[in-house]
Amino acid sequence: MEKAAIEFFVYHFKIFFLVFIRISSLFFLAPFFSSIDIPIQIRAGFAFFVALIVYPIVYSFIPLAPDINATAFAVNVVNQIIVGVIIGLIAQIFYLVIQVSGQYYTMQIGFGMINTLDPLSQTEIAILGTFQGIIGLMIFLIIGGHHFLCYSIVKSFSYFPLYNFELVNLTVEALTVAMSKMFYLGFMFAVPLIGIIFIMTVIMGILAKVAPQMNLLMLGFPLNIFVGLTMLLILQALLMDVTKDIFMYMMDFINHFLNAAKKYA
């Protein structure tokens, strides 16, 4: 009786560990959860409690033989890491759209040499990239993006409990599309401000021909900064709506990936 109880505990502990590994992999890459401001111990503890909550729901989806050897179990662990990393990486790529657009803003209005510390990644990025990133994170939390990521990682257990080689092409395609969308959406996100700065540059060029005695070099830089920041504040409400649409697209993209992966599971 005691031996049976020990075997029961060990079997379920192995499955719980796999669930914990997949959720931890997501939390160490996904937006908000991966912030360096959140200590690793807190992230690991949060992943543990989430795994504890969802374990009764998902444990039946993980095909694990009771007498599995160490090598096969290690392969299962790697499987869980890959799945969590893929979902977290896709979400992180779409979050970077906001920061990429901030990089475009910064270069166009003349702040290219000014960097600041990003509180999420603890790296130096363009000052407007940090500004847009913070606003993007707030919108991400408001629309429940963190809840969706928890939902998607739980959903992934029923869609594909283990990662297999048939999913490699699908994963590469999904990550490639996400990366291309990041630069495309980031540029489109910045187009209104880039267009206004372009018009300003044309006007300054015309003035240079009409009134060559004017010191346009000294006038152009502060004027670009003033117009750029003013238009950024005016367009901020519109940019917030676009940011929300980007995150909604991210959710649809992850759902599409999970649905496509289900066919190969």
Chain centroid to CA 238: 21
The model's pLDDT over 129-167, given as tens digits with 9 standing for 90+, comes to 777 878 888 888 899 888 898 888 888 888 777 666 667
Q: Is the pLDDT of residue 120 over 60?
A: no
- Strands 124-126, 115-117: pairing is antiparallel
pLDDT for 234 equals 80
The model's pLDDT over 121-137, given as tens digits with 9 standing for 90+, comes to 556 666 777 778 788 88
Q: What's the domain count of the chain? A: 1
**Dist. CA 220–CA 201, nearest whole Å:** 8
Q: In this structure, what is the dihedral angle of CA atoms 205, 206, 211, 212, given to the nearest 10 degrees?
A: 30
**Dist. CA 138–CA 150, nearest whole Å:** 17
pLDDT for 203 equals 79
DSSP-assigned beta bridge partners for residue 125: 116
pLDDT for 82 equals 84
The model's pLDDT over 177-234, given as tens digits with 9 standing for 90+, comes to 787 877 777 777 777 777 777 787 787 777 777 777 766 667 767 777 787 778 778 8
pTM more than 0.85: no
Q: Are 91 and 34 in contact (CB under 8 A)?
A: no
Domain of 130? 2-262
